[in-house]
Amino acid sequence: MGSDFEGAPLTAIPMRREIAPLRDVISLWRVWRLIQQLKPDLVTVSTPKAGLLGGIAACLARVPCRIYVMRGLRLEGAKSFQWMILFATEWLACHTAQRVFCVSASLMQRTIELGVVERKRCAVLGPGSSNGVDLQALAPSRGNLARAAELRSQWDVPSGEPVIGFIGRCTADKGVAELIEAYAIARQRYPELRLLIAGNREELDPRLWRRCQNDPQLICCDQFVADTAPLYHAMDFLVLPTHREGFPNVILEAHAAGKTVISTRVTGVVDVVEDGVSGLLVHAGDVAQLAEAMLRLLANPELSQQMGAAGRKRAQAEFSRERIWHAVEREYVHELERRGLPLPEFLAMYAATAGVKGG
């Protein structure tokens, strides 16, 4: 067991993101052994690899209540044999669980359409997401704005000059290549424009990384950032030209910070960005559309601020962490009670105060 996190003991079990048969078998055995030791009444698993191995281990260990939280479909965009492998692993992960919680309504719809899992076993927690957003930590507070001003000073960005930002994994699926191309187009009209890319440099295509190094106005923050709030407040708006999502937390965080977002009309994104209200949506992979959306917001900073305010208003109304946590608690109580299993003390207290009934 490792050190406590939020009062919970941790045990680290290494897993590879990609398919690695021998390592996967070892990881599966380690998860199964841990479950055998703990003998839980309920197990929740998530992410493609951990969801698959954890789900199989929980099933083999005969855990009475098994939940899979689906955060996205990696098979979207895959082709031929890879698609079949990813479909099979996702199908298996879903069918080792009794309940599948999808992090967005569009993800659930897509999952059902593809035949990954049947409708009766799926649900979405509240309006979406799996953990909500920390509204207070991301708010445009005096401290966040001061730290953002310090960052802009470190980047040598004069007051009033625009910065567009990207925060996330620097992979092809996130549309980083299209982002850099669209930024180059926008620079032709706004030569002072900066682009912030905050993500893991090791995942960035080497050619793109060399291009980034040669552009003094492209700011790369490739080290782990524990507190991303100042980054959002240091940018004028967020751009996420992703090709697939489950529910993009980075957009939710940007909205909580009062920033508008440019993103794509793909699964997951359409649940959080209201096109023309809290952001602008373009077709995935369309560089010209992406550049046009950038230019529209750069030319209309008041519109960008209005959309950012609309995004924060919705985040406050629908996506607070407490609201999502209560939705999770309700589902746990329901799943345990319907199987006649005892509730842990904290869930029993919640059920009593909230009037939750099994069914």
DSSP calls for 150-178: HHHHHTT--TT--EEEEES--SGGGTHHH
Please give the pLDDT value at position 241: 97
Above 60 in pLDDT, residue 1? no
For the chain, give the number of residues. 359
The predicted model gives 45-59 an average pLDDT of 93
Nearest to 72 by CA among 102, 44, 116: 102
Indicate the CATH number for domain 135-318. 3.40.50.2000
Alpha-carbon span 108 to 270, nearest angstrom: 13
Q: The whole model's pTM is what?
A: 0.89
Q: What confidence tier does 76 reach under pLDDT thresholds 50, 70, 90?
A: confident
Q: What are the distances in angstroms from CA 188 to CA 34, 183, 225, 303?
A: 57, 9, 31, 22
Residues contacting 34, CB < 8 A, separation 6+: 11, 13
Q: What confidence tier does 351 reach under pLDDT thresholds 50, 70, 90?
A: low
- 123: part of which helix (H) or strand (E)? strand 122-124
- 194: part of which helix (H) or strand (E)? strand 194-198
The predicted model gives 126-140 an average pLDDT of 93
> Max CA-CA distance within the chain?
65
Please give the pLDDT value at position 206: 74
Q: What confidence tier does 223 reach under pLDDT thresholds 50, 70, 90?
A: low
* Token pair in block for residue 167: 């925060």
pLDDT tens string 86-122: 999 999 999 999 999 999 999 999 999 999 999 999 9
DSSP three-state, residue 16:
coil
Percentage of the chain exceeding pLDDT 70: 92
Above 60 in pLDDT, residue 358? no
Q: What confidence tier does 201 reach under pLDDT thresholds 50, 70, 90?
A: low
Alpha-carbon span 15 to 269, nearest angstrom: 28
Do residues 241 and 175 lie in contact, with contact meaning Cβ atoms separated by under 8 Å? yes
Q: What confidence tier does 353 reach under pLDDT thresholds 50, 70, 90?
A: low
The predicted model gives 39-45 an average pLDDT of 95
Domain 1-130 has CATH 3.40.50.2000: yes
Alpha-carbon span 130 to 70, nearest angstrom: 9
Residue with tokens 């980054």: 231
Residue range(s) of every CATH 3.40.50.2000 domain in the chain? 1-130, 135-318
Please give the pLDDT value at position 348: 66
Above 60 in pLDDT, residue 355? no
62: left (phi over 0), alpha (psi -120 to 50) or beta: left
- Could you tell me the sign of the dihedral formed by the alpha carbons of 235, 252, 312, 226, in that order? negative
Q: What are the distances in angstroms from CA 312 to CA 34, 231, 252, 316, 317?
A: 41, 16, 9, 6, 9
Alpha-carbon span 31 to 27, nearest angstrom: 6
Alpha-carbon span 329 to 348, nearest angstrom: 10
